[in-house]
Structure 1
Amino acid sequence: MTASGLIVSAPRSGSGKTTLTLGLLAALRGRGVAVTAAKAGPDYIDTAFHAAASGRAGLNLDSWAMSPALLDTLMAEAALDADLLLIEGAMGLFDGIEAPPGRSGAGADIAARHGLPVLLIVDVSGASQSHAALLRGFATHDPKVRIGGVVLNRVGSERHRRMVADAVAPLGLPILGAIPRDAPPALPERHLGLVQAEEHPALGAALAALGEHIARYVDLDAVRRLAAPLGIAAAQVPGVAVPPPGQRIALARDAAFSFVYPHLLAAWRRGGAEILPFSPLADEAPPDCADCCWLPGGYPELHGGRLAAASGFLAGLRRFAAARPVHGECGGHMVLGEGIEDAAGQRHGMAGLLGHSTSFARRRMNLGYRRARMLADGPMGRAGSWLRGHEFHYATVTDPGRDMPFALLSDGTGRELGPAGGRRGFVTGSFFHAIAREEA
């Protein structure tokens, strides 16, 4: 393996990690660098932007949900035929949950385990010399985590940049870029993050402009020199993600159903499964030749009217569920229920294969890592087996229905959350997003 690795992180969310990462990907790709990107943590939106900017498939790396063996294998596979593996962190560099060392979900876990340097982007607006104290803390907080370089973001003027740089100089941390406050327009956002890559009206042009902007203010050669060699070999017995739920999997895939992790699809294909995409928004039913149907998360609350009117999809889904397994995650789980109330308070009838109803008008954020124990055999595994994943949605359950629960949940620290989701016949669903099967 000849690839090198680097982590892009920050002291906190909103510092500019994604802007810097996408700009670096686009700029380096434009220079002929084969760069693969990964997202540290459970984020299924940023990986699609990474893929668009790099021209290579993206993936997620999660130190809490994935075993060390699975992490190593995924990183080794991602680095194949690549010059650089660029990993974008989540939240702040050291932000994770209370867990054994190296398993907190923080980007710092990956940096420490694999000896990867961190390129820290710092929003310097509102202060100057005080940022030296912040950077001193980050540089010394964990001796296993090396801050290799710094990019200053939202710099107000040349004088502002010089004041920060002069204060930081005694720390020996190289400043590899300074991005001015008048940055290009940000990519559009909505309640779960960025508007999806496939919905962006001119994504290619936006990424190209972002790449030019970053190349103007960041030393790309210095960034490449900062990266460290990846000495990882795929485990001979790799960690297990989630086994294929079927041999021929009908996968809902469009703007309403897009939250599926790339590493899961890759693992299913590697396990011999065939993925058969179909579009509920185009009123397509699950392919009849499939033996399992998977409805991933997404934004069904934004498309309630179209989904309710998709009679071919709903009738085909009901026929499919009469004899074959159907599983819904988060948004897919909402569509399996009786109805969805959109942000305006209008109710849209859904498949009625489970008895619950949900509302986006009565919003409440649900966010966090989850452990799920299966309560019955099904597409997600045998009864009693454990999965690790997460939950992130704003919908509330207005009527839980009377179905048997799908799983017993606990949060990432082990606190019991009780039964969740529903199962009826061949149909199962919950707000839980699976990332990997739990291993001892």
Structure 2
Amino acid sequence: MSANAPIDPTLLALRRGDLAGTRALRLTGPLDAFPDEVFGLAETLERLDLSGCGLTALPDGFGRLRRLKVLFCSGNRFDRLPPVLGDCPELAQIGFRGTGLREVPGEALPMRLRWLTLTDNRITHLPDALGARPQLQKLMLAGNALDALPATLEGAPNLELLRLSANAFATLPAWLAHLPRLAWIAWAGNPAEGGTVQARVPDVPWSRLDPGALLGEGASGRIVAATWRAEEGEPARPVAVKLFKGAMTSDGLPEREMAACLAAGQHPNLTGALGQIVDHPDGAQGLLMPLLPADWRVLAGPPSLESCSRDVYDPALRLPLAAALRITLSVARGAAHLHARGLLHGDLYAHNTIWDGTAGTAVLSDFGAASLLPPGPAGAAWQRIETRAWGLLLGELLDCCTSDPATLAELRDLERACIQADIRARPLMAEVVQALSAHIGEACPDE
């Protein structure tokens, strides 16, 4: 640490003993070495965030943090995942994103590992021990140099979310599509993805757009409101514009997200692209998208540290059956359209579902994890992986439903059919749309 560098106020408080009993600690650095004072919290500390502190190693006695459950070290410089992580008996979530990792020793993987993020590194090989962590549920590997996965993962009983985008896979293991609980996967930007689906949208010159207020910002880009003059003399149309940052995200490369959004085309239940922006003054890549009504909202929050791979709903959310059916049918139609266009959404979640907040009109958004489907039976197998994601969404919404449980029995049967362990027995999304339409015809006569 430079002699003139400011000292993190949290570190000063830690040294004074002001943080006794703390369960969550975040140090912002810069640090020359791991602070020994952290060990004074060994009896209580459960979450430790050392991201961007400039660390290159962890001490041999790191396992003294016997209650530690979550560790973030992203943005530091580690060539090797520290083997001492395996000494932490309760450690379940590890994040080493963008640290320059090349090696992942098996002994660095704690037995309770549930969520591992190694995005944007230089890893070429993963240890067999990864498949011997029975609680592994979420595995983030985008932006590495992997061309294979450990065969031991074939038996991973609880793996639900897997990110493999922007690696070096010439083929994907055949057994991946048969993991019983896998529901969300992305592999765009690998040789295995093959060709591309042709976009069917026009180029939109930046000069015909008048950008306005910021609507949102995520890992891949910023979304702003704008008005669009398609032709000189025509009235301006309100739209949304997404400008991509160009940085690696946990799902993969932003340019692959843009390509998928373009390839998806327009559909009433997708936030697809109206056009591709050209001639931006800063050379930025961007998409023109429909502007949703201002009162529409996201259906749920993204997964938390505790929920891992499952969305977090407002505990007060209560849905009439008709609204729940409209939401799930809207998402099913959007997903079925993507599958027919040769695309897997890869992130079919409530937190990527935007709805009107009342009747249940909804759209599926965010193509950051979308991948090009292979043709034939292999593509159908991957479609049934996404069927499980939809079935989980259906179950979550039925849990929020105000109807008597007896009236939901047939819908619960559909849920079970979609999430069953036998992937080959799950329906395709087009079949889901058919099955659900019968229910919605009864519950929503105006549909």
Settle same-fold status: TM greater than 0.5. no
Structure with larger Rg: 2
What is the TM-score with the length of structure 1 in the denominator?
A: 0.26
TM-score by length of 2: 0.25
Q: Which has the higher strand share?
A: 1
